[in-house]
Amino acid sequence: MNMHERVLVTGGSGFVGSALIQRLAGQGVEVVAPVRRVCPGLPDSIQQPVINGIDPDMDWSAALTGVDCVVHAAARVHVMSETAADPLAEFRAVNVAGTLNLARQAAAAGVRRFVFISSIKVNGEQTDDRPPFTPGDTPAPADPYGMSKHEAEAGLRELAAETGMELVIIRPPLVYGPGVKGNFRSLLKLAGLPVPLPLGGIRNRRSLVFLGNLVDFIVHAAQHPAAANQTFLVSDGHDLSTTELLSQMRKALGRPGWLLPIPGQWLWGAARVAGKGGIGQRLCGSLELDTSLNESLLGWKPPYTVEQGLAETVSGLSREKN
């Protein structure tokens, strides 16, 4: 990214946003990172105007002054245990109305390019009975989070067409790296147990993306001329079965393999019987992405391998413990 540009990054205290800010700051880019509270972990050079949140009434004028590019990584994220009475309304308030409010003000302020970090959930939940997802697929979101991201994308495209502001949409799958939380962290903990696991017979295919690869792609797409008004899927470029992923995790953790070859269909069936079909889908189902556009249009390849990404993730976990 051009060192003379001024970039606004939302979600600066989050998993992806904080890593992106560190990367941009390291390149000498002037970064504005609006936050609800000042984050001491960000570089001192980062401007951190305090905001109330990503909502339809937020005034972004001060933060947008002189900004050339916006990377919108903040969102109400997918949660496993939803407590809201109307989850879709809650997701829409932040992910649709809040996003479009920021984008409208960005266009009015003369921002050249708006990069929206969306989600592969816009495409759907699984590719068990179909080819890998592509950017041009008909959207098929299946939960409120995915629906809200799809609606935000549609609104942003309309706004970009009206105003001429360039739009880049990026849909990542599950992101892992140092500090990862959620399902991936739970799987890491499972892989670290000093006991055999009945997960050696799963033959699915899943696309993942290491945090370092995602950040590198965001920076690349934010500045490449050919990325304007395009939608991209991004991954490590090396899909794994859950068995292969656990094997790689065990290796990175210094554990023996110890994966018992129980067929994945049995595990999935048992999960359904136990009322845990969602867990069965994540463990045994497939979710593959076709990311060939990234290389053919932008000349981009993932700079990190899966092995390197997992090693960094495990190293980060060890640093947390210490």
Distance of alpha carbon 266 from alpha carbon 298, whole angstroms:
42
Distance of alpha carbon 278 from alpha carbon 122, whole angstroms:
17
Distance of alpha carbon 199 from alpha carbon 268, whole angstroms:
11
**Which sequence positions are flagged as catalytic?**
145
Quote the tokens at residue 89.
């309304």
Distance of alpha carbon 297 from alpha carbon 286, whole angstroms:
26
What are residue 8's DSSP bridge partners? 32, 70
Helix 144-163 to helix 99-108 angle (10° resolution) is 20
The contacts of residue 34 (CB under 8 Å, 6+ apart) are 8, 10, 12, 48, 49, 50, 51, 60, 63
Distance of alpha carbon 138 from alpha carbon 124, whole angstroms:
9
User: What residue type is 208 in one-letter code?
Assistant: L
Distance of alpha carbon 70 from alpha carbon 87, whole angstroms:
27
Picking from 17, 44, 19, 47, the residue whose alpha carbon sits closest to that of residue 31 is 47
